[in-house]
Structures are given as structure tokens and as C-alpha cells.
Amino acid sequence: MDKVERLISIIMILLKKEVVSAKEFSQLFNVSKRTILRDMETLSVSNIPIYSVHGVNGGYGIMEEYKVDKRLLSSSDLENILTALGGLEQIFLTEEVQMTIKKIEAMVRPLSLNRSVQLSFYDWEGRSEILETVKKCQESIVKKRLVSFDYTDQNGTVTNRMIEPYELHFHESSWYLKGFCLHRQGYRTFKLSRIDHLTVDDDTFHPRDDWSEQGHETGYQSQLVAIKALISPSIKDQLIERYGRNSIENDNSECLMATIHVPQNHTGFQFLASFGTHLKIVEPKTYVEDFRNYVRQMLENYS
């Protein structure tokens, strides 16, 4: 953390707390007490109304009048921010995210926030490996450096790529990197779990003029097809979570009729097969036949 960011953080903390000791600040920012003293002098020279309190419970504070004029976030706002950061921390655990959470928590302490929402994600073993790749990608995006890697497509074909990295996406439960592929001369989206031997090069690049037009297109979304399926009530909740209540209608039998959109490829077949005997596709007939062939190929592995 550079000095400017630390000074801003100090102001944010003092806007929410009465008095903070130099020891607390030094531990929070991992700097010496002397550095904190110089920071306070810098803020005072910059017309920020900092005052010091001597004694056992002494430290630094900011004038109450300044707080009234400048405080923008309520405790409810901060609670929402902490909830969102808590979710981000679980899928993108970096020192920067942890430091941000600490700063926000320092702002609200000693306020007692009773967070009503808690987020939880699967702690898969491979997550730490993916996050290492995420960190390298983020570094390359910030520093505008080319990256090269081996990429394995859905058919198992491995190609070497060099790209200009532009954005990271977290979609469903997977990370994706979007950039301009120098080999294919076009914008491409790469699933991080299919990337091997990623290297951040020393060579830098200038962002392309047409990136703003391309940046928000979801290149990882496959073409979808609408299907009708008879489903068991036991999986109704899972389909509601993904497609909403309007996707399901009552049927005269013990089953329900669901209308859902799935990828028109093996990814869609895998998703539907995960419901086992609790789901039966009825329309369109062409998709039923394709799915039947997919199931037959699965059975051949056990014949």
C-alpha cells in the first residue's frame, strides 16, 4: 500500500471512530509508529482537522464537525459492503481484499453490526491453484503485459496462445480471462481451469480502440435451446433457483412440466444428466434424440 492510499484509509477510519492509537494504525498498515506520526502531520498540513489525545487511551481523532459534513456511509451501508466483500473474499482471496475488509471493519468498530446475510461457497481443493492463475492474470491486466499459456479446448486439443489480457470474469462457479489472441487475431474468452504454464511476459501492449465495444460481451455463454421436461417435485427447488417459478407448471400426473434453456452441446447434456431419473426431456424431439445418444455413450463406458 502506498502513502496516498494509506492516508485516505486513515481518514476513512477516523471518520467512523472517536480515537485510534498509533499502535492500532501501525499494526493495521504494517508500518512503524514513526511513519504514522508523519502521516498525521501530512494530514494536518493538508487542512484535515486531526487532533491528538494524550494518555493511556490516547491516539488520534478527527474534529466532530468534519465528521458531520463528510460522513457519507451509514452503518447499514457498511454492513452491505462487508457482506459483499465477504463473498468476494471466498472466491478471490487476495491481500488487497483482506486489507479492504479490515479497513471497513475498523470503520464500523465499535459499532455492533449484526449481519443478517452470510455467503458461503464450496471450498474445493483446486481453488487455490485457480486463484494463483487469477492473481497472475490480474497483475498482467493492471500492468498491461502480454501473457502466454497452453490452452486445452473441450476436445482435448492443446494450443499455445499469447494474448493481450483485458478482463477477468467469474461466471457460475468458474473464472474466465478475456483478451485479444495474437495467434487468432481476435477477442477470445479462456476458462482458467483449461490454462497451463501461464507466463506474464515483460512485453507490454496498448489497449485496442475497439475493446470498449467488445468488453461486455459474454463469450463464455453457449448457444441455448429451450426444452420441455417432466420433472420430479424433489428437484423443483433447484430449477426455481436457476430459472424462476414461471418456468414450472403443474401437470396432471405426479410430475411437473418445466420449460428451461440449456446449452445445445455436451455441457447441457451433463447438466440434465445430473438430475438422473428425476427429469425426462419431452421436447424438442431432436434434442431428446441427441440426449439419448449421449446417455448411450455413457453406458458404453460400463458395458
Q: What integer is the mean pLDDT of 53-64? A: 84
In this prediction, residue 69 carries a pLDDT of 46
248 contacts 258 by C-beta, under 8 angstroms:
yes
Q: Which runs of E-coded beta strand occur in the chain?
A: 50-53, 59-62, 145-152, 158-171, 174-181, 186-191, 195-204, 224-231, 248-250, 256-263, 279-283
Across the range 209-229, mean pLDDT stands at: 73
Q: pLDDT band for position 4 (50/70/90)?
A: confident
Average pLDDT over residues 228-245: 91
The predicted pLDDT at position 184 comes to: 92
Q: Is the pLDDT of residue 26 over 70?
A: yes
Which of the two residues, 197 and 115, has the higher pLDDT score? 197
What pLDDT is attached to residue 289? 95
Give the pLDDT confidence score for residue 294 in this predicted structure. Answer: 93
Q: CB neighbours (10 Å) of residue 294? A: 15
Q: What average pLDDT does the structure give for the chain? A: 82
Predicted confidence band of residue 211 (pLDDT cuts 50, 70, 90): confident
**Omega of the bond leading into 207 within 30 degrees of 0 (cis):** no
Reference 175, options 187, 192, 163; nearest CA is 192
User: 255-292 pLDDT, tens per residue?
Assistant: 899 999 998 888 899 999 999 999 999 999 999 999 99
DSSP notation for 216-252 = T--TTPPPEEEEEEEE-GGGHHHHHHHH-GGGEEE-S
**What is the per-residue pLDDT for 64?**
75
pLDDT of residue 110: 46
Residue 107 confidence (pLDDT): 57
- Residues 109-118, mean pLDDT to the nearest whole number: 57
The yes-or-no verdict on residue 252 having pLDDT over 70 is no
pLDDT of 293 reads 94
Res 82: pLDDT = 72
Q: What is the pLDDT of residue 266?
A: 84
pLDDT at position 273: 94
Residue 119's pLDDT band, with cuts at 50, 70 and 90, is low
Residue 266: Cβ within 10 Å count: 14
Q: Does residue 47 have a pLDDT over 70? A: yes
Sorting pLDDT into bands at 50, 70 and 90, what band is 249?
Answer: confident
Please give the domain boundaries of the chain with CATH numbers for all domains: 3-70 (1.10.10.10), 75-108 (no CATH), 127-214 (2.30.30), 224-300 (no CATH)
Q: pTM to 2 decimals?
A: 0.60
